[in-house]
Amino acid sequence: MAGRAATSSAKWAKEFLFRRVSSNPLGATRNCSSVPGASSAPKVPHFSKKGRILTGATIGLAIAGGAYVSTADEATFCGWLFNATKVVNPFFALLDAEFAHKLAVSAAARGWVPREKRPDPAILGLEVWGRKFSNPIGLAAGFDKNAEATEGLLGMGFGFVEVGSVTPVPQEGNPKPRIFRLSQEGAIINRCGFNSEGIVVVAKRLGAQHGKRMLAETSGTSSSPSDDVKPGGKSGPGILGVNLGKNKTSEDAAADYVQGVHNLSQYADYLVINVSSPNTAGLRMLQGRKQLKDLVKKVQAARDEMQWGDEGPPPLLVKIAPDLSRGELEDIAAVALALHLDGLIISNTTVSRPDPVSNNPVATEAGGLSGKPLFPLSTNMLRDMYTLTRGKIPLIGCGGVSSGEDAYKKIRAGATLVQLYTGFAYGGPALIPQIKEELVKCLERDGFKSIHEAIGADHR
């Protein structure tokens, strides 16, 4: 096994070098000559200083890993790989925010990320909607918008990954630049506006991944652990959620979401209606009591009219904004209970600029704020919604999670599951095992034997 891992490291380094030189993703090339007619001469790749540093650090880690693995068992080497990403991750901060994001997605899609081989502690396992989660820590929508890297992301140890938002028709989203870091505050402002490759492309990718898994299971070549460790998600280990959005120019929002259900639900372990992005004009109006009720009814009907096997249709959730009034929260809770909605995600990004973000010059940029400053606002709303729904509806806590203690606070406030995004963007792959380890310590510290026991503990 050690020999195979070392060979894999060398092969990975060779492939990375080849792709780095041939594709030159930083987009910087210079001609060898300025003589007229010399345009056909070979172009020599020009690596920026930042690019050379990033490449050198990555290749160095690959070579070091190949040497280290020869004396380490699989679990030890797995831990080393995750810790090693702490060295590479800071270099992403030197890159343009959106380019760094694309690079991270591309790395995950190609398997250039560590893969978690260690089973999750039993205390983190739970069952929701009849689906087994090996742990409650998930990746929120917005990172893998077009389902390019689900296998790599789930392989890093997330209990679930949510792709999207996916719109029916491809759209570019808002003009760039549209992602802004507030590094000191651990926050990001984005106004992407549902940039999406569209339902057809995403359905094709998810269909291919689904077929690959089915083939592996049929042939008995699946390398996944036992059922106690690997829940039965449709995209392999872990659970896959699909977040649905509407096109910017669409006049019939319900039709957009219905189209998403018809084309993508067969590949999803759960579906999400996103009515809370602040970057699509008029979208948040769909959170009104009548509008939301009408929308959910139509989407539920579209889902239920399809043919489903023994596992039944995928659960349907709604993702809401953190900027709602108490009255608006009460209306949403009433709709969720009346229509037997399967869950709510609390919350999306905020248009507010709470301290200390308000003092940062970047705070004047339009868009939704995510990250650490969102934690108090989103967690308080989570707590309120748990009370309003009387704990009858599974809630996913999202907003400002960057540690196991943060995840634990969300769970105690009423979250069944927890998502992160901005924390992952800053912390990198190493944050995933760190959060799970810290969460286990929190549970054991307070005498809980399972995640289920801790859900809503602050209300008891």
Catalytic (active-site) positions: 277
281, two tokens? 């004009």
Q: How big, in percent rounded to 5, are the helix, strand and coil portions of the chain? A: 50, 15, 35
Alpha-carbon distances of 237 from 9, 64, 157, 252, 269, rounded to whole Å: 23, 28, 9, 36, 12
Residue 42 CA, distance from chain mean position:
40
Q: Are 293 and 335 in contact (CB under 8 A)?
A: yes
Residue 121 CA, distance from chain mean position:
22
> Is residue 218 classed as helix, strand or coil in its secondary structure?
helix
127, two tokens? 């069952």
> Is residue 318 classed as helix, strand or coil in its secondary structure?
strand
Reported as half-sphere exposure (CB side, CA atoms, 13 A), residue 178 has a value of 13
Helix (H) or strand (E) holding 43: strand 43-45
Strand partners, 128: 131
For residues 429 and 144, what is the distance between their CA atoms, to the nearest angstrom? Answer: 15
Please provide residue 222's backbone torsions phi and psi, each rounded to the nearest 5 degrees.
Answer: -60, 130
- Closest Cα to residue 88, out of 112, 65, 61? 61
Alpha-carbon distances of 55 from 11, 22, 62, 147, rounded to whole Å: 15, 14, 11, 26
For residues 94 and 92, what is the distance between their CA atoms, to the nearest angstrom? Answer: 5
Q: Are 197 and 168 in contact (CB under 8 A)?
A: no
For residues 318 and 337, what is the distance between their CA atoms, to the nearest angstrom? Answer: 12
Residue 26 CA, distance from chain mean position:
24
Which residues lie below 8 Å from residue 187, measured CB to CB, with a gap of 6+?
181, 357, 369, 370, 371, 372, 373, 374, 422
Q: Are 187 and 372 in contact (CB under 8 A)?
A: yes
The terminus-to-terminus CA distance of the chain in angstroms comes to: 49
Q: Rounded to the nearest 5 degrees, what angle is found at the Cα of 247, between the Cα atoms of 243 and 250?
A: 135
